[in-house]
Structure 1
Amino acid sequence: MNSANLQLEGLYLAIAAMHETMIAKGLVSRQDVDDAMRAAELTAINDHRSVENLRPAERDALAFPARLLRIANATVSDDGALSFSALARRVGTFKEPYNDQR
């Protein structure tokens, strides 16, 4: 596997852990995190460059980090955080519809 992919996986897990820490300390709510990630996802898939020049699969790739972090935020695990692969499997079922007319 490409080491850049592994670095990105680690980054997503680190950001998810930071979200959990900020929630536990009362700095943000779970809803605040979800709202921020939803806004990032919608920006990624509805950006004019994305709509005009990228295929739906490429826009999904842009939205993947925000989708994964929304799922991590919504998932409370009894034994701690879910693995990257467990979170990534859930991403495909958690999508905002595209607003383009193609």
Structure 2
Amino acid sequence: MNVANLQLEGLLMAVAAVNRLLVHKGVVSAQEIDAALQEAEASECRSDDIPPANREAIVFPIRLLRLANQQPPAAELPSFPALTRTVGQMR
């Protein structure tokens, strides 16, 4: 596997963990994080000048973070492979 992919995997899981911490501390709600991520996904999906496969690649990390954000607060965050499988099934 490409080292850059591993770095991105680590970054995504770190952002997911920070998002959970922010919700736990009451800084933002899970709904506010989801709304921000949903807005980011929608803005990327409006780009007509990129091929659909590239668009899917661009929105993948956003969808992964949205899925991680939907996990119950008391539950352990699923692993990266588990999240990616679920994101892949969502398309």
Residue 92 of structure 1, CA deviation? 2.5
Using the alignment, how far apart are the partners of 2:19 and 2:73 within structure 1? 14
Q: Which amino acid aligns with 2:68?
A: A
Using the alignment, how far apart are the partners of 1:65 and 1:12 within structure 2? 7
| TM-score, normalised relative to structure 2 | 0.91
Say yes or no: does 1:71 pair with 2:33: no
| TM-score, normalised relative to structure 1 | 0.82
Larger Rg, first or second structure (1 or 2): 1
Identity of aligned residues (%): 45
Residue 81 of structure 1, CA deviation? 0.9
Residue by residue over 1:15-72, the C-alpha shift from the partner in whole angstroms, topping out at 9 and shown as x without a partner, is 000000000000000100100110111111113xxx12x2111100010111000000
Using the alignment, how far apart are the partners of 1:20 and 1:87 within structure 2? 15
Report the aligned-residue RMSD. 1.5
For these two proteins, the number of residue pairs brought into alignment is 91
CA contact (8 A) 2:20 2:73 kept: no
Q: Which amino acid aligns with 2:67?
A: I
Secondary structure of the residue aligned to 1:81 is: coil
Runs of 4+ residues deviating >6 angstroms: none
Change (3 A) 1:90 1:38: same
Q: Which amino acid aligns with 2:12?
A: Y
Secondary structure of the residue aligned to 1:26 is: coil
Secondary structure of the residue aligned to 2:77 is: coil
Name the residue aligned to 1:41: 41
Secondary structure of the residue aligned to 2:90 is: coil
